[in-house]
Amino acid sequence: MNLHIQQAGNITTITINRPQALNALNKEVLEELAEFFNTNRHNNAIRGIIVTGEGEKAFVAGADIKELSALSQEEALVLSQKGHQLFKSIEDFPKPVLALVNGFALGGGCELAMACHMRIATENAKFGLPEVNLGLIPGYGGTQRLTQLVGRPKALELAMTGDMLPAKEAKELGLVNHVVATKQEGLDMATKMLSKIAQKAPLAISELIKSVNAGFGFEKAGYQAEAASFAHLFTTKDFVEGTSAFMEKRAPNFTGQ
């Protein structure tokens, strides 16, 4: 198991537990998350969920780059579409899902945090979509959700530069709800907020989530375009160069091929 799942009263905490790879999302993590969110959609014992990463250094440092580097275009398309479905099932989950972002939330990690309904970040958290450093673009809905959250110019700036955004700046942009000093403080705040929501009418909360999401059009072309472009880039030399450079711990030399 790559997920550590704890139940305290009616609140469930899911901790992604691959600290040796900064909690990067490999296929197993994605499958375990899908299993949890599909199985517990109608579980009345759960009234709120906290998603976090093991340790203090990373929430999730992205998709697992070693795994990505071996994928074909077809496999990348399938994985991206599966990721879209999983992240949509989190976004549409009928109970509040809150990301407690403790450190790096990069690439797929930032995309996971953005698919949650709310985000609390520790002061050391850093958000970013650095896929361009690998010759890629975000493949788990980041082009759509970052744009929804911070607007087109800032989303394009962040995704084109690959820069990391510190927690306080992320809050100023509306990417983060609250910034706290420590992970424990974040857990306390998240628990308090979810406990308050748990006292409201559950059907009203689920209809609220449904209504807010209905305005954002998952069925529109953006997600499909993202998956197609993401997969197309797997056929390029720059993708091979970008992922090789990461694994060899050196700067990439891109040629536009």
Task: Give the residue numbers annotated as catalytic, written as ranges.
Answer: 111, 131
Decide if residue 135 touches ligand CO8 (CB under 6 A): no
Q: Express the helix, strand and coil content of the chain in percent, nearest 5 each.
A: 50, 15, 30
- Residue 242 found at the interface with ligand CO8 (CB under 6 A): no
DSSP H helix total and E strand total for the chain: 11, 10
- Is residue 139 at the binding interface for ligand CO8, with CB under 6 A as the rule? yes
Q: Is there binding between residue 121 and ligand CO8 (CB under 6 A)?
A: no
* Beta carbons within 8 Å of 81's beta carbon, 6+ residues apart: 227
23 near ligand CO8 (CB under 6 A): no
**DSSP string of 110-139, one letter each residue:** HHHHHHSSEEEEETT-EEE-GGGGGT----
Distance CA 59, CA 188 (A): 17
- Helix segments in 92-201, DSSP class H: 108-115, 142-150, 152-161, 167-172, 183-198
Q: Does 141 bind ligand CO8 (CB under 6 A)?
A: no
Residue 23 gets the label, from left (phi > 0), alpha (psi -120 to 50) or beta, of: left
Of 3, 14, 16, 22, the one binding ligand CO8 by CB under 6 A: 22
Residue 52: closest CA among 149, 182, 143: 182
If the CB atoms of residues 74 and 172 are measured against ligand CO8, the closer one turns out to be 74
> Which window, 35-43, 74-82, 172-180, 184-192, contacts ligand CO8 (CB under 6 A)?
74-82
Q: Does 48 bind ligand CO8 (CB under 6 A)?
A: no
Q: How far is the CB of 75 from ligand CO8 (least distance, A)?
A: 8
The residue number with the shortest CB distance to ligand CO8 is 107
Site stretch for ligand CO8 (CB under 6 A), options 43-51, 64-72, 113-121, 179-187: 64-72
Stretch that binds ligand CO8, among 38-46, 76-84, 91-99, 200-208 (CB under 6 A): 76-84
3-state secondary structure of 248: coil
Residues that bind ligand CO8 (CB under 6 A): 21-22, 24, 61-66, 76, 79-80, 83, 104, 106-108, 130-131, 133-134, 138-140
